Amino acid sequence: MADHHKCRDFHVFDWEHNPSSSTLDLGAILSSEEKGKDVEPLEWELTPQSTPSTSCEDFQFFDVDLSDPLAASDPETLPAKRQSRIFRHLRHTCFTVYRRLFSIVLLANYGYLSVPPPIVTTAVSGNFFIAVLVRQDFFVNMLYSISWMVPRTAPLRLRRLVAKVYENGGVHSGAAVAGTMWFIVLNIMVTTDLIRGEASSSITLFCSTSALLLTLLTILVFAHPSIRARTHNSFEYTHRLGGWLSIALFWVQSFLFVDIRRKTLGVTITSVIVRHPAFWLLTATTALIILPWLRLRHWEFTPERLSSHAMRLHYTQNLKRFSCLFISDSPLLQWHPFATFPARNGEPGGSMVISDAGDWTHDLIMNPAKKYWVKGLPTYGTLSMACIFQRIILVTTGSGIGPSLGYILDRPEGQLCRLIWSTRTPVHTYGAALNDWINEIEPNALILDTSKTGRPDLVQLAYQMYVLYKAEAVFVLSNETVTRKVVYGMESRGIPAYGPIWDS
């Protein structure tokens, strides 16, 4: 820890590593009277290290020996997972809400495979319209706003289901795949008619259809989860640039179809367009794609380098609670979302914490700009759904403290929220000011310095906190590996758990 940091009574826990147990027993920290209650700031019954770890007078480190049976007066053993291994894998991995929605959309399309050829173009346009709609910021915000209306007194079963609204991306993926499948059918029809010499096809139509199909298949290939994870930049480029090219080719194809139909029926082009649903669906889809760009702005930011690993960007605009802001330095290529939190003491504006997680974020930390592009509306995210629960446990690592801090500041009145933050050298990496603020608003936060403890078993810790505070749900904000592990570890034991799913 840097000696020049000024810290206020902030508690970071350290314990002797016991090979048989890498987790902290919360039974040694919380008294029986505190379990299940919204308690005052805890007086930690731990022994300070004899040798201070920092020159900060009030900054306290504690050492807990987990091998000492007296330090675990009320252990909470992690229960066995429910159901068989195969059933758990099917339920919590293969058939997540995201994949169920994906399957429902595909099955709904399958029921109409016998439609006549003129309807195929409408099926293509309709599916792509839905795929674009569910990714619009105003539509996403509407879904979250409606979900927040569920009262915290509603049955837990209902709230558990509603909180999965963030997995709505399954509709986007399902509709996009279904639209592509329909387009393959359309391409086959166009090719067959061309071979037969039918008036309903032409070389120009065949070429445009083939080019569009190739573009759509390229987008799907790079959007596959396994490929997207390895080549995320390629996914971004093909999705954005390929999407724009697809819209342009759809317009070319639409006018070709309209012209062919005009000649075949011997009517005016206007009468064909009016009766052509695909034309209006394409018009609406194009409008949805253009809409966010009408809100393109160049915002001024004040960069505050917290360390070589983290940056905090401050802005002066006032945003709604739980907002996620997309920023870019090259708006035609890449956009990066970051959760925001309001400024301290009711001051205008807010900020966001950015950690070194790739080439773009590394460059931002090393060479921050004072202006970044912002597009569309700030959107709500997974963590915002915590507001429909009465008592939650919030597990986060690294820069996940940013959105966690934003939620804690704006959480519903009367809600109990307990924070577990596991990170390496929290004060050195994220600054004394941010750490001090966390201590102020969440005195009971469990902060784990992994440079001293090693990586803790977050599944065990989350479960212990869940039991001790009689929580209703666990929310996880971390990297993909940790998030999936903790969410699965909770859900496989019947505990409601939520975290980002990296579906885009």
- The predicted structure's pLDDT at residue 26: 53
Whether residue 380 is predicted with pLDDT greater than 50 in this model: the reply is: yes
| Greater pLDDT, 336 or 201 | 336
- The predicted structure's pLDDT at residue 71: 33
- The predicted structure's pLDDT at residue 44: 35
Element (DSSP H or E) covering residue 360: helix 359-366
Report pTM: 0.82
- The predicted structure's pLDDT at residue 346: 81
Angle at 371 between CA 2 and CA 324, to 5 degrees: 80
The mean pLDDT of the chain is 83
Whether residue 311 is predicted with pLDDT greater than 70 in this model: the reply is: yes
**Domains of the chain and any CATH numbers:** 11-75+383-498 (3.40.50.720), 85-294 (no CATH), 296-380 (2.40.30.10)
The stretch 273-292 carries a mean pLDDT of 93
Q: How far apart are CA 382 and CA 25, in angstroms?
A: 28
pLDDT tens-place string over residues 411-420: 999 999 999 9
Neighbours of 499 (CB within 10 A): 25
- The predicted structure's pLDDT at residue 195: 86
SS3 43: coil
The stretch 464-484 carries a mean pLDDT of 94
Whether residue 22 is predicted with pLDDT greater than 60 in this model: the reply is: no
Q: How far apart are CA 8 and CA 441, in angstroms?
A: 13
Cβ atoms of 304 and 312 closer than 8 Å: yes
Whether residue 490 is predicted with pLDDT greater than 80 in this model: the reply is: yes
The model's confidence at residue 200, banded by pLDDT at 50, 70 and 90, is low
pLDDT tens-place string over residues 319-361: 999 999 999 999 988 899 999 999 988 889 999 999 988 889 9
Element (DSSP H or E) covering residue 313: strand 310-315
Tell me which long-range contacts 44-53 makes (C-beta under 8 A, separation of at least 24). 44/11, 46/13, 49/14, 53/1, 53/14, 53/452
